[in-house]
């Protein structure tokens, strides 16, 4: 198992099938919210050093990723925040500490980049909060969603 940081542009072709699996597993309202990542915007963030991708590979094959945004926080301009945008691990690797190791590896790298606070969100139907709590994270917020239009 190899954990490393990679440029999104270098691994995006390998990420797309995993992103599709991720969407199929967790996305809500799939009847009208289609899989349609804004790859151009991700690329701009990648080039601006505001996007950091941490990957997990087994025998060279991509099995998971942690995609993190680093950007000035509009509420706390003197504190460097990181936000994990997406975190995915292929099902056959779950429950074997790989997800834990992926997050720890990302934390270590982000800390050296000056990140002071790292935030992670998750879908309630795919709750890994107990693991995060064991890692020292604290639940701080809940998000609600309402569909206003289906067109």
Greatest extent of the chain over all pairs of C-alpha atoms, in Å? 45
Residue closest to 69 by CA, chosen among 80, 58, 78? 80
Residue carrying the six token digits 């925040």: 81
Q: Where are the domains of the chain?
A: 2-134
pTM: 0.92
CB count in 10 Å sphere of residue 20: 12
Q: What is the mean pLDDT of residues 95-110?
A: 96
Q: How far apart are CA 67 and CA 2, in angstroms?
A: 16
In the predicted structure, residue 25 carries a pLDDT above the cut 90: yes
Q: What single DSSP character describes residue 31?
A: T
Does residue 54 sit in helix, strand or coil?
A: strand
Q: Show the tokens assigned to 108.
A: 């270590």
pLDDT value of position 143: 87
Contact 15, 8 (CB under 8 A): yes
Question: 35-76, pLDDT tens digit by residue?
Answer: 999 999 999 999 999 999 999 999 999 999 999 999 888 999
**What CATH number does the domain located at 2-134 have?**
3.40.630.30
């Amino acid at each position: 198992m190899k954990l490393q940081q990679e440029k999104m542009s270098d691994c995006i072709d390998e990420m797309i099938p995993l992103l599709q699996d991720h969407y199929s597993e967790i996305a809500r309202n799939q009847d009208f919210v289609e899989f349609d990542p804004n790859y151009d915007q991700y690329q701009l963030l990648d080039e601006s050093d505001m996007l950091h991708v941490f990957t997990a590979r087994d025998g060279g094959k991509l099995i998971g990723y942690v995609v993190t945004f680093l950007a000035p926080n509009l509420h706390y301009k003197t504190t460097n925040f990181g936000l994990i945008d997406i975190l995915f691990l292929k099902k056959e690797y779950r429950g074997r500490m790989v997800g834990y190791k992926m997050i720890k590896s990302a934390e270590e790298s982000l800390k050296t980049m000056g990140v002071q606070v790292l935030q992670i969100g998750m879908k309630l139907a795919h709750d890994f909060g107990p693991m995060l709590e064991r890692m020292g994270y604290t639940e701080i917020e809940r998000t609600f969603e309402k569909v206003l239009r289906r067109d």
